[in-house]
Amino acid sequence: MRAASLPRDKWLGDFDFDANPNINAATINTLATANWIPKGQPLCLIGDSGTGKSHLLIGLGTAAAEKGYRVNYTLATRLVNELVEAADEKMLAKTIARYGRVNLLCIDELDYMELERRGAELLFQVLTEREEKNSIAIASSASFSGWTKTFTDPRLCAAIVDRLTSSGAITETGTDSYRLAHTLAQATVR
């Protein structure tokens, strides 16, 4: 669990499926079995901020680690920055290989910042290294059509979407923020 670099404790058993009816509990419970991980299948969690994507991503990473899979969690910007630094220091192959060895790579906040072409190309190399061998799970608040703002090269964007959706699972978490609803409910109680 320590090697997974999960940012906080989140378990699927703590997820409030009643608060977000867009998320099918049976689907998440099937994903929690981790049967998709040895097959190298990807998972995409897509939905607006506050809809539970990060909780589910961390929870699925936790479930996989508890089953003995090697898991690594990272923010997309942190991963890209690490790849750029590794390339500058002539350590790129070693860094990509390290990310290629984990059974499940969880990348959160994939779409929050526009990536420079070099960073996007380096991220693509990681995805290609993992394709059909080791699973990747991402969380994004933008639909695939909105990824052109993150990955500005249309061909590269299409290739990344292709790698992350081929034979994979896509779970849409919706648009209604659970966090906002929870905050508003707490404010009316006071």
Q: What is the mean pLDDT of residues 78-93?
A: 97
pLDDT tens readout for residues 9-26: 888 999 999 989 999 999
Least confident of 80-94, 126-140, 176-190: 176-190
The CATH number given to whatever domain includes residue 110 is: 3.40.50.300
Give me the domain span that covers residue 103: 36-189
| pTM metric for this prediction | 0.91
Q: Has residue 9 been placed in a domain? A: no
pLDDT tens readout for residues 46-85: 999 999 999 999 999 999 999 999 999 999 999 999 999 9
Return the structure tokens found at 99: 């990310």
Q: Has residue 184 been placed in a domain? A: yes
Q: Has residue 1 been placed in a domain? A: no
Q: Has residue 185 been placed in a domain? A: yes
Q: Which helix (H) or strand (E) holds 73?
A: strand 71-75
| Burial (CB count within 10 angstroms: exposed 0-12, middle 13-18, buried 19+), residue 154 | exposed
| Structural domain total, the chain | 1
